[in-house]
Structure 1
């Protein structure tokens, strides 16, 4: 049976793709995968849901309001890799806040289990968990976001990451196996890139970090670039023009 998703509000300022054009509105183009789950793709509206969390019951879109959000799943409470991940994410609270990002975790454990586990995280990682964790024992949200991959494990969520922008569009998806802890510094780096490239007609090259040179998107002509980047640029090829990161 096809699952109906709740669409978020439209945006007057859509993000831009690599060539400098606006992302298409793909809300009607979600595809149905195996067992009726929805394949969530970049540019889709993130499905809305209501769920119990360690900070009370939330409606996802209402909770995130006009912020960016990182929704991520972990396989199981009281496990070693997950403990290190949630502790490190908690340490990044100010980094996320500086970028207007709200963080929310999820597993198929109960909220009660999450609360019990929080003391272990604080004890071993030196930081208390400071973001909500969704208790999803019925797998409603996990199935909605296709976080359970049966060929990997049919009872636990994989390490999924969704970065969602203020207009509720999915801008990044990453999936890690249970044995590999995520690099949350990389997630911050991608958010920096997304926020920069939404504001300016640029793209970020390989291994870019905030402050490094960026690339003028091919859709911008040299004549237009003179107005946008009056300080000039380094043209390696007509399609590869490096410029100082705009402020």
Structure 2
């Protein structure tokens, strides 16, 4: 079911290599390696057929195309069985008219969740898991976001996060607070006294908006 998980660290950090895996999902068997070359939003949820998780899946399904435009795939995970996943996603479509087209992984043994630090190694339940990892096309973790089980994630913020990461990397600049598409980026701060003392046309050496 898994590959390279034994060597995974107890707690993953930004810029770590994402642990590889292969598992059953609602779209057939999936593996992390199959997402190479694309960004991936990999997230876990506490349980199927729960209210907050349902609200998240409805929002993620509706935003699926927006993520796709950013060359970013969605991949969910919980410890529920594959059959529970299928039943839940079918009921979401029947009850809310929303089709969840992205895969949802079965992780009944909690192997993947523990490898990603979504669960403590001594945990026997996934009830507190609501974790999100943004993984880049090279398989490197670029962002980690955690929410408690009683508060749902902001899908709009996750979209903003993915686009900000991509834009910052592409432009060699920084994304300031609340940055959205079309906003000004920031230049990296001067890293030497010589650079800090240069004239910056009314801007601070440590806070410079990119112009032009």
> 151, 155, 172: which one pairs with 2:125?
155
Distance of 2:162 and 2:209 partners within structure 1: 20
Moved over 6 A (4+): none
Normalising by structure 1, what TM-score?
0.75
SS at match of 2:41: strand
**2:185 matches 1:218:** no
Unpaired stretches in structure 1, ≥5 consecutive residues? 6-29, 31-37, 225-232
Does the CA contact (< 8 Å) of 2:114 and 2:121 recur in 1? Answer: no
Q: Report the counterpart of residue 204 of structure 1 in structure 2.
A: 175
Which residues of 2 match residues 123-202 of structure 1 at below 5 A? 123-149=94-120, 154-156=124-126, 158-202=129-173
TM-score normalised per structure 2? 0.87
| Cα 1:96/1:193, change in 2 over 3 Å | same
Q: 1:234 to 1:51 in 2, by over 3 A?
A: farther
Measure how far apart 1:85 and its partner are: 0.4
Q: Tell me if 1:117 matches 2:62.
A: no
Q: Identify the residue that residue 51 of structure 2 maps to in structure 1.
A: 80
1:64 to 35, 40, 46: 35
> How many aligned positions are there?
201
**By percentage of residues, which structure has more strand?**
1
Q: 2:203 aligns with which of 236, 240, 245?
A: 236
> What secondary structure sits across from 2:54 in the alignment?
helix
Unaligned 5+ runs, structure 2: none
Report if the CA contact (8 A) 1:41-1:170 is conserved.
yes
Superposed CA deviations along residues 12-65 of structure 1, whole A, max 9, x for unmatched, are: xxxxxxxxxxxxxxxxxx4xxxxxxx211111100001111111112211x202
CA shift for structure 1 position 154:
4.5
Please name the residue that 1:16 is paired with.
none
SS in 2 for 1:96: helix
Change (3 A) 1:219 1:68: farther
Match of 2:6 among 3, 6, 12: 3
